[in-house]
Amino acid sequence: MSQLNLILMGPPGAGKGTQAERLTEDFGLPYYATGDLLRAAVREGTELGREAKKYMDAGDLVPDEVVIGMIVEALGTDEAEDGFLLDGFPRTVPQADALGRALEQLGRRLNGVLLIEAPDEEIERRISGRRVSENGRVYHVEFDPPKTEGVCDVDGSALIQRDDDKPETVRKRLAVYHEQTTPLIAYYEDLGLLHSFDGSPPPAQVYEHLRATVSTLRREDEA
């Protein structure tokens, strides 16, 4: 059975969520985004959500053991049996090691790590204009506006700005990315899994490159 086990990586606001929507639709992959899972826990007011919110609002990473537990649980489900797309995980070397161990135990391997890159100034512009629906559908007031201002095209819910999208929090998140997540670029490069993409062009153009690479990875896996 062919499996496509993929990671989407990149700085905050690089366009991971935007591209994930297209990838999951075209390739039928279950999608696990730690940021979305954590925000759902915050909305539901669970103990995990209350604890995670403190870190998220400060632009810090939630402790490794919390997110590792969430992802290991998701990968063990029937839904993820034929493949998955991870977004926002792993974000630290201990998380990447834990993912490697979990996949080994399941007798599986990663097919590729898709890194979307964008300069810090562009990221600040993008995040300041980002609006999201209750279900996590992503818009941008200028680059990708909804048909009706402030309303989600898909489910009609009101669009809001994320609590961690304030300029000072975005700068902190970028610093955390450079310090704690960029070591994973060399980590996956050494494993021969890294594929880098320029996230600066418009979303459709970025997607063409991603789609071509993922199609190749799938053909290689089926061969």
What is the binding site for ligand AP5 (CB under 6 A)? Answer: 10, 12-18, 34-35, 38, 55-56, 59-62, 67, 88-89, 91, 95, 126-127, 129-130, 138-140, 143-144, 164, 173, 199, 202-203, 206
Q: Which is nearer to ligand AP5, 55 or 187 (CB)?
A: 55
Cα–Cα distance for residue pair 41/56, rounded to 1 Å: 12
* Contact partners, residue 92, CB within 8 Å, separation at least 6: 61, 64, 180, 181, 184
Q: Which residues are catalytic?
A: 16, 91, 130, 162, 173
Residue with tokens 């290991």: 72
For residue 199, give the nearest of 125, 98, 89, 131 by alpha carbon.
125
Give the residue at shortest CB distance from ligand AP5: 35
Taking the complex as a whole, how short is the minimal distance between the CB of residue 205 and ligand AP5, in angstroms? 8
Taking the complex as a whole, how short is the minimal distance between the CB of residue 86 and ligand AP5, in angstroms? 9
For residue 136, what are the CA distances in angstroms to 12, 40, 157, 194?
15, 9, 10, 27
Taking the complex as a whole, how short is the minimal distance between the CB of residue 4 and ligand AP5, in angstroms? 20
Cα–Cα distance for residue pair 210/214, rounded to 1 Å: 6
* Contact partners, residue 23, CB within 8 Å, separation at least 6: 6, 8, 29, 85, 207, 210, 211, 214
Q: Which is nearer to ligand AP5, 41 or 217 (CB)?
A: 41
Taking the complex as a whole, how short is the minimal distance between the CB of residue 186 and ligand AP5, in angstroms? 18
Q: Which is nearer to ligand AP5, 22 or 221 (CB)?
A: 22
Q: Which is nearer to ligand AP5, 139 or 188 (CB)?
A: 139
